[in-house]
Amino acid sequence: MILNDICTHIVDCEHKTAPTQETGIPSIRTTDIKQGVIDFKKANKVSEETYKIWTQRLEPQPYDLILAREAPVGQVGIIPDGYRVCLGQRTVLIRPNPKKVDSYYLLYLLLSPQIQHEIRIRASGTIIEHLNMSDIRQLKLPSLPSLEIQHEIGRTLSSLERKIDNLRRQNETLETIAQTLFKHWFIDFEFPNDDGKPYKSSGGAMVASELGDIPTGWRVERLGDLTQTITKGTTPTTFKKDFVASGINFIKAESITENHTLEKSKFAYIDEDTNLFLKRSIVQEKDILYTIAGTIGRYAMITSSSLPANTNQAVAIIRPDFKKIDPEYLLCYFASINYWHYLSSRIVQAVQANLSLGVLSDSPITIPDQRIKNIFSELIIPIFAKKEFNQQQIQTLTKTRDTLLPKLMSGQIRIKEVESLIEKVK
């Protein structure tokens, strides 16, 4: 059986990238697709006029699939009910025949290790791998179970995916709450005064500083003076130390997401001897990792669930002095546009963009008085704790999904067993 036999349409994007706008209809790029989910938030937006032109041949519908033809080759997402989208460059619209295959079942079949392997061996190109339309249409698939069984498998796996997505959305909301509170208090200086009123707009006294006017009693300090250490790691292969299949977590720059979390699926591993050899960069709980080479400015806090761990030279280790500063405060500070402007103007553009440890250490940080610092900590620390709890749940559910997917597709495990396992992951 081939993919073309069970679909009514398989069409690719014919147009070039159009001018985008802040609002409009999402135009899905290959980078907007990951593990069955389409990221509408980051997608480019096009006008209604562009949408009508681009969808004359075939207008995408809910439960159609979108496949990435180029990097990341083989990623597939499904269009949820209630969404209007159009194809971006190097994507393919796949419309399952509802009389032959369930949309969600086909989605997870295409994401299964067996089919992903088939896709990868068909990808060609020396610089950028890509899939030809003929290879996509002729993609070989295993025999399908009955539509009833397909529906049950698709429903079960999509339920698991929704749990993961809900937790991600919760974390996005928590991040927004944290940043909104931080901006209101420490950028706009509208923290509550002794009478519970907004400080600056109620006439709170301000004094000059190198960062502009700040409230009386506040100060500006160097990041290096607020930390126990600021250092970075080394790539093990520099010392002829090889990575291993499992062992001590080794965190690379790509392991740190733009959402300030650690993507454990992108960890490498080293053995205990290598970890001890690279003892300078052994990370500890509450350390903040900050990317300083390549993609600069991503950061995340180390929690116990990621330990033991080490890191490489593209990542700075910032170890706060807890007597002087809370790591949660620094995480919020790093997210501020003012701090990013300071650092970005000091990035060295060489073969690979980089930020020195010296610049990081010398970066100025506004420190509030003790009363405000304590009140903020009481509010913000539980938010970060909830985010970390959710992130651990996401990782557990993701691992469960990835483990169950090939077993479900091959019939090695029954749906009732899966539902029982999902219920246990709370």
Flag whether pLDDT at 281 surpasses 90: yes
Q: Is this prediction's pTM over 0.75?
A: yes
pLDDT of 351-381, one tens digit each?
Answer: 788 999 999 999 999 999 999 999 999 999 9
Q: Give residue-wise pLDDT tens across range 381-397.
A: 999 999 999 988 988 88
Task: Give the mean model confidence (pLDDT) for residues 28-50.
Answer: 89
pLDDT confidence band for 89 (50 / 70 / 90):
confident
Q: Region 17-46: what's the mean pLDDT?
A: 86
Q: Taking residues 298-326, what's their average pLDDT?
A: 94
pLDDT of 265 > 80? The answer is yes
Q: For the chain, which domains are there?
A: 3-143 (3.90.220.20), 219-367 (3.90.220.20)
Instruction: Tell me the C-alpha distance between 273 and 241, whole Å.
Output: 9
413 versus 309: which is more confidently predicted?
A: 309
What's residue 165's pLDDT? 87
Who wins on pLDDT, 391 or 409?
Answer: 391
Whether residue 131 is predicted with pLDDT greater than 60 in this model: the reply is yes
Question: How far is 252 from 295, CA to CA, in rounded Å?
Answer: 11
| In the predicted structure, residue 12 carries a pLDDT above the cut 70 | yes
pLDDT for 15: 77
pLDDT of 416: 64
Whole-number Cα distances in Å, 337 to 218, 259, 318, 361, 384: 20, 15, 19, 18, 20
Q: Which amino acid is at 316?
A: A
Residue 34 has a pLDDT of: 86
Mean pLDDT of 338-357: 88
Confidence of residue 408 (pLDDT cuts 50, 70, 90): confident
> Is it the case that residue 120 has pLDDT exceeding 90?
no
Q: How many Å apart are CA 37 and CA 89, to the nearest integer?
A: 18
Whether the predicted pLDDT of 185 surpasses 70: yes
Question: Strands 37-38, 33-34: parallel, antiparallel or unpaired by DSSP?
Answer: antiparallel
Please report, rounded to a whole number, the percentage of residues in the chain having pLDDT higher than 90: 61
| Whether pLDDT at 426 is above 60 | no
Residues in a beta bridge with 269? 249
For residue 66, is pLDDT > 80? Answer: yes
Confidence check: pLDDT of 414 > 80: no
Return the pLDDT at 325.
94
Across the range 138-162, mean pLDDT stands at 89
Mean pLDDT of the chain: 90
